[in-house]
């Protein structure tokens, strides 16, 4: 594929429209939105998406930074900046669950719905490392139950992703109340 700067003006405009449509669709409804809908929103044909991006995986990889990675990595960075380990785990879980609630695409990434996407798998790897680091520090500081593991945290996050993706979406106040129950359950 030619670089963006090597494209004709109309092809470059089509690529920008496709990216904008994909970002809006993926943020609002997740990474499984039909490509026909993305194409319609961009004012192009589905074939144009395949021409420019090679299909769904290529399109996801072209926009995943804006759709998921930037916000997720910011949560990880802000968590690491908190001095108190107990506050770290509370902040991280609260913010991650908030992100899962607001951004359906986050759940698709966490569920590894497109395992052939190197970028999605890299996001998962970074998230797993952050989980391990956070739980190890919380256990060492006595901020969580001694039997709580990074595997437990992973399971809680994935279970939440499955519930949000395939279950009935709870009201926000009920969801936040369940986040508080979760935090109470893992604290020492």
Beta bridge partner(s), residue 46: none
Q: Where does residue 149 rank: exposed (0-12), middle (13-18), buried (19+ CB within 10 A)?
A: middle
The predicted model scores a pTM of 0.90
- Separation CA 135–CA 153 (nearest Å): 8
For the chain, 188 residues long, give each residue's pLDDT as a single digit of tens: 445 555 578 778 999 999 999 999 999 899 999 999 999 999 999 999 999 999 999 999 999 999 999 999 999 999 999 999 999 999 999 999 999 999 999 999 999 999 999 999 999 999 999 999 999 999 999 999 999 999 999 999 999 999 999 999 999 999 999 999 999 999 98
């Amino acid at each position: 594929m030619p670089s963006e700067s090597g494209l004709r003006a109309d092809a470059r405009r089509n690529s920008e429209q496709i990216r904008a449509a994909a970002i809006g669709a993926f943020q609002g409804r997740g990474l499984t939105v039909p490509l026909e809908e993305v194409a319609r929103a961009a004012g192009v044909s589905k074939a144009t998406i395949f021409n420019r991006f090679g299909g769904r995986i290529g399109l996801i990889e072209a926009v995943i930074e804006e759709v998921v990675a930037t916000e997720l990595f910011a949560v990880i960075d802000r968590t690491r900046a908190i001095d108190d380990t107990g506050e770290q785990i509370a902040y991280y879980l609260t913010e991650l669950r908030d992100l899962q609630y607001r951004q359906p695409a986050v759940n698709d990434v966490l569920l590894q719905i497109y395992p052939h996407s190197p970028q999605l798998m890299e996001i998962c790897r970074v998230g797993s490392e952050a989980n391990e680091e956070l739980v190890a520090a919380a256990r060492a500081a006595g901020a969580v139950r001694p039997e709580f593991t990074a595997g437990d945290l992973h399971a809680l996050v994935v279970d939440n992703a499955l519930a949000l993706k395939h279950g009935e979406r709870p009201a926000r106040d009920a969801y936040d109340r369940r986040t508080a129950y979760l935090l109470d359950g893992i604290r020492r």
